[in-house]
Amino acid sequence: RTSKMAQAARERFAKKNEAEDLRRAFEKLDTRGDGKIDTEELNTVFQLLNHKTKKSEIEDMIWEVDDDCDKCVNWPEFQAMYHRCRNDKTGYEPRRLFNVVEFLMNDKDDSGSVSVEEAMQILYLRFGKGLLDSQLEEIFGTSDTNSTKDLSLTEFLHSLNMSQVKQLRSKVTGKTYKPPTSVRK
């Protein structure tokens, strides 16, 4: 009973913090402050973070979540994208902009990199103590909380992409399904 209460409290705290972090990430990407994010603004943030990407990739990031086809992402589209990806159990939801948002949410001190310590809070609140170490290991290659390892946006995106590819490859599909072997008595 106590662990269920602790988990419920952790989830309430996580939702409040997550909403604040999500708003902060949106405002960081919305460099003009006009309530929407376009390719120029994303490119500006990428340049500030020394992340090289093609214009067509940035356009695709916007296109994947631009529900009203205005070539921008507004706050409701941004929230919808975030929650779709957070709740996606299949791994098939487009995650390119989501992964950038994850980086910005984890970069609490606006240093342009994410440390193990910064990522720990979000990962703990999201996955609990049981999965914290494996999540840190997956992203940083270490779960040592004393690690001084920081990831740039490019490294963070690469790490998340590799993790997501691994997750997709481990899924059972029509091609990889093997029926249970029958046991003869």
Quickly state the pLDDT bin for 183 (edges 50, 70, 90).
Answer: low
User: What percent of the chain shows pLDDT beyond 90?
Assistant: 41
Q: What is the 3-state secondary structure (H, E, C) of 66-105?
A: CCCCCCCEEHHHHHHHHHHHHHCCCCCCCCHHHHHHHHHH
Q: What is the pLDDT at residue 8?
A: 73
Q: Give yes or no for residue 63 having a pLDDT over 90.
A: yes
Could you read off the pLDDT of 126-139 as tens digits, one per residue?
A: 777 777 788 888 88
Using pLDDT thresholds of 50, 70 and 90, give the confidence band for residue 159.
confident
pTM given for the model: 0.78
Which pLDDT score, from 0 to 100, does residue 101 have? 94
Residue 112 or 181, more confident: 112
